[in-house]
Structure 1
């Protein structure tokens, strides 16, 4: 259980760090490839209007090269450190 929580934490940290790097390197010419992203999901979101309550459900994923690299690096570190 503890190992699973560490892997989930490292993956989340990799997602955050990769997103940050992708945003920061978008305007740098030779590093702009890190910000190349593919976005997919449900757009517009599903909407259920019941008169009193309106419920909207949507999901989209923005997957960039930086995120993929940092998540792979986080998993590699987690496996090497054997959390």
Structure 2
């Protein structure tokens, strides 16, 4: 067993890759009639960015997350790949 290869960073990178690739595949499949279900999902977050003005420093914070069926499939595949390491 190669337990040294299994660490938190590799899991994080695999999950992030699964989410991004899954979301991209869902976006590509949105106009295909029999694959449009891959882009079905929910978007949540801040509708307006949060602005903080401290005089000399201005900070804008906004966060929106869209979870689609294809990104969930990407996460599942990333976990399977992680377990195979």
TM-score range, shorter chain: 0.7 to 0.9
Q: Which one of the candidate residues 54, 57, 66 is aligned to 1:62?
A: 66
What is the distance in 1 between the residues matched to 2:53 and 2:27? 36
Residue deviations 1:37-71, cap 9 Å, x none? 21101121211122333211121111111000111
Alignment of 1:53 with 2:81, yes or no, is no
What is the distance in 1 between the residues matched to 2:5 and 2:35? 36
TM-score normalised by L of structure 1: 0.85
Spell out structure 1 runs of 4+ moving beyond 3 A.
none
Q: Which one of the candidate residues 43, 68, 75 is aligned to 1:71?
A: 75
Structure 2, unaligned stretches of length 5 or more?
none
> What does residue 41 of structure 2 align with?
37
TM-score normalised by L of structure 2: 0.83
CA root-mean-square deviation: 1.5
> What does residue 5 of structure 1 align with?
9
